[in-house]
Copies of this chain bind each other. A is one copy, B any other.
Amino acid sequence: MSEPAPPTAAPRAGRGSGAFTIEGTDGAARAGTLELGRGRVRTPSFMPVGTLGTVKALSSRDLEGVGAEIILGNAYHLYLRPGLEVLETAGGLHRFMSWPHPILTDSGGFQVFSLARISQVDDDGVTFRSHIDGSLHRITPERSIEIQTVIGSDIQMAFDECPPGEADRERARAAVERSLAWLDRCRRRHDELAADAAAGRGPGLLFPIFQGGSYEDLRLESLARTLEGGPWPGIAIGGLSVGESKGVTRRILETCEPHLPRELPRYLMGVGYPDDLLEAVGRGVDMFDCVAPTRNGRNGTAFTEEGQVNVRGARFARDERPLDPGCDCECCREYSRAYVRHLLVCGEILGLKLLSVHNIRFLIRLTSRARAAILRGDFESWAGGWLARYRSGGSRSEGGSPC
């Protein structure tokens, strides 16, 4: 297995410089800033997921209010609805959803494999039927880059094959090979579009994704061969948080961390429960996304310093305290637990929004506090204390696929 090559040139052209500066480290944990044309992203960073051009239940102004610096859009979903013609007419997703700050898009690969009815996967791409109306579509690596360029995201993700967490070695190996071959095609198409767009804005930065399932040797090989295809402006760890145990997630992160170029922002896809996020920051990860805060919010579950809480519980019926006394979100500033519980029990839309706002703010505050702890050289002890408190009252079971 070859040692990962260090980046030898500036990141590929894209929106913004893509410059990533590390301002402090503490053990493997890092505090940095990623400069994008539409704004800076301070890391560790949690990216709320705006599947269909809206982070569910929040407006773009709500997103600014919770301190989001970058959000995620799903190429697969946006390609199906509203579709590329609508996004092209609007001048891209930023204008469409009134969000002038950075956007990262996934490539569509994960959703095609998890949501669509696959008709055919071959070395060239994937033919699938829409989960909405059964219509037939085909996405190739080149097409994914074109779709993300119409969306206009600041960071594009390579089109990869992401096997489930329990995939056997043969399947994991095949996904590594296919993802590497597709990455090469993504990069070429991305280069072409960047060259074509010399006059205007080109495609966003392109982040590769490495795979390898739960197999250390495959992980390191996938990482090394991915880096050989670079230089890249960042790198994503794919195929985790897809059903494997948390022990496996941590082991893989620990195995890969020493081999990840220090200079690149590292994005762990699909992770975003508070404790998982903090564990991964301690293992050198900079960027995160997950639907957990919004999906849990809509189910009536709040993140708090003492773990997850089902806000529908009768014990909150006359509880006049804010959900989380230390939180500065709209929900905690303005309303009591009793009120939020009442809204949830009655199925009121405002309840879904307030809990979604709170949970996203909770994660963004958590990344800010982790960042501050890293910068003062105190991350390990701070995170240890935080996790012990959080887990003392937590109700979520271990394992499973949270996102």
Contact = CB atoms under 8 A, between A and B. Distances in A.
Interface of A: 52-54, 56-61, 81-82, 85-86, 89-90, 96-98, 317-318, 320, 330, 334-336, 338-339, 342-343, 345-346, 348-350, 352-354
Given A353-B349, A353-B353, A330 B61 contact: yes
Given A54-B348, A56-B349, A342 B61 contact: no
A53 B353 contact: no
B82 A317 contact: yes
A90 B339 contact: yes
The 6 closest A-B pairs by CB, nearest first: A57-B349, A82-B342, A89-B318, A98-B334, A54-B350, A52-B346
B348 A56 contact: yes
A89 B318 CA distance: 6
A343 B98 CA distance: 13
Contacts of A317: 82, 86
Number of copies: 2
Nearest to A57: B349
A353 B54 CA distance: 12
Contacts of A56: 348-350
Nearest to A350: B54
Given A56-B349, A56-B350, A60-B334, 12 more contacts: A52-B346, A53-B339, A53-B342, A53-B343, A57-B353, A59-B354, A81-B345, A82-B345, A90-B318, A90-B339, A96-B336, A96-B342
A96 to B, nearest CB: 5
A86 B338 contact: yes
Contact of A90 (B53, B85, B320): B320
A338 to B, nearest CB: 6
Nearest to A336: B90
Nearest to A85: B318
A86 B111 CA distance: 44
14 contacts: A52-B346, A54-B350, A57-B349, A57-B353, A59-B354, A61-B330, A89-B318, A89-B320, A89-B338, A90-B318, A96-B336, A96-B342, A98-B334, A98-B335
Contacts of A53: 339, 342-343
A58 B320 contact: no
Nearest to A59: B350
A89 B321 CA distance: 12
A94 to B, nearest CB: 12
A57 B62 CA distance: 14
A339 B96 contact: yes
A61 B338 contact: no
A358 B375 CA distance: 45
A53 B59 CA distance: 22
Contacts of A96: 336, 338-339, 342
Nearest to A62: B350
A81 B350 contact: no
A81 B318 contact: no
A335 B96 CA distance: 7
Contacts of A345: 81-82
Contact of A343 (B54, B318, B342, B349): B54
Nearest to A132: B346
Contacts of A85: 318
Contacts of A354: 59
A355 to B, nearest CB: 12
Nearest to A335: B98
A367 to B, nearest CB: 24
Contacts of A59: 330, 334, 350, 353-354
